[in-house]
Amino acid sequence: MAIFEVLSVFGLFAFIPISAGLPARAEIDDLLVQTNLFTVKGVTWQNSTDVRFFGGIPYAESPIGTARFRPPIPKGPVKETIDASWFGPSCIQYNNGAKTVYTEHLKGFLLSPGQEQSEDCLTLNIWAPRVSKTYDPASDDLLPVMIWIHGGGFTSGGSASPYKYGDRLARDQNVIVVALNYRLNIFGYPNAAALNGKNLNPGLLDQRKAIEWVYQNIHSFGGNPDQMILFGQSAGGMAVDKYSYAYLDDPIVKGFIAQSGTAVGGGSTSDPKGTNFSYVASQVGCTSTNKDEEFSCMQHADAAVIIEVYNKYNASLNGGRSLSFPPRRMT
């Protein structure tokens, strides 16, 4: 029941709601979200009025130039509002041109058809239920958060594969869903001699950086940073399991779902001297007996040329020797 106070005006009585003098519940645009670093403008998800979508949100700086093959650099502030109406570019993919079940029958399983690829790919996507136009952040409950790591053998795939998760989870289970990109193949797991055995898996470090970003910012989208789980499929499942061991003392998330794949899969201790990296370097004009010069040259080589060497490699013409760049098992 509303509470009123009586106000006498020119001998007449008026009944004024006491609440009129109190701060009103905020009228908001739930598609315009202010994070700790910048503002993003999302959209309602396709064919849905119940789910908000925010795509291509940067969680790290572009890993190009001297940042290539290195751990991710946290994203700094951005003055302009970020257009988050669709996916950002996917990370550069390995593709030897061979026909597979994914290219012929399950198009969109690894990536949405026509999805752009770029080295500037360290972004994430968020699906969130719509909120009331009279939303009170101080009193409304925050929702659980599910963070997705995609599969693809650590060579391909990306977060732009929405039919496996995303809007349906957000709508049907009333949760916030986050999907992240991370560097793949030689860009994510270079194993270069110049790294001296340190930070050999920047692709896995990308995942940690994205989770840190989510923890710091997901409340702005209605998510509870203290109620997050990490889940993934295939290589994503391997990554989830690896993460649970790598950050045993500070996991940030409260649970793990490895839908397939375990920590013992998808890794290698072979090629201890970085000979695969040196082979690719030699093919792009970065031949040097000095490991640091070789590394610096590769950091500035054309990314399209680098991946093309990998794509076109023929083991039968090279003594049967494999050319691969999986995550490294640390020894």
pLDDT tens for each residue of the chain, 331 residues long:
444 444 433 344 444 343 344 344 445 689 999 999 999 999 999 888 899 999 999 999 999 999 999 999 999 999 999 999 999 999 999 988 788 787 777 777 777 878 899 999 999 999 999 975 555 555 568 999 999 999 999 999 999 976 666 899 999 999 999 999 999 999 999 999 999 999 999 999 999 999 999 999 999 999 999 999 999 999 999 999 999 999 999 999 999 999 988 888 766 667 767 899 999 999 999 999 999 999 999 999 999 999 999 999 999 899 889 999 999 875 5
In the CATH hierarchy, which fold is given to the domain comprising 38-259? Rossmann fold (3.40.50)
Name which of 288, 286, 283, 278 is nearest 312 in CA terms.
Answer: 283
Angstrom distances, CA of residue 45 to CA of 31, 112, 161, 175, 231? 11, 15, 14, 15, 22
Name the catalytic one among 90, 112, 159, 234: 234
Q: How far apart are the first and last CA of the chain?
A: 68
CA–CA gap between residue 254 and residue 227 (Å, rounded): 6
Per-residue pLDDT of 129-145, as tens digits, reads 997 555 555 556 899 99
pLDDT at 241: 96
Name which of 231, 227, 323, 215 is nearest 268 in CA terms.
Answer: 323
pLDDT at 1: 41
Burial bucket for residue 94 (CB in 10 Å: 0-12, 13-18, 19+) = buried
CA–CA gap between residue 303 and residue 309 (Å, rounded): 10
Q: Where are the domains of the chain?
A: 38-259
Q: Is 234 a catalytic residue?
A: yes
User: What three-state secondary structure class fits 121?
Assistant: coil
Query: Which residue intervals of 79-166 are DSSP H helices?
Result: 101-104
pLDDT at 15: 41
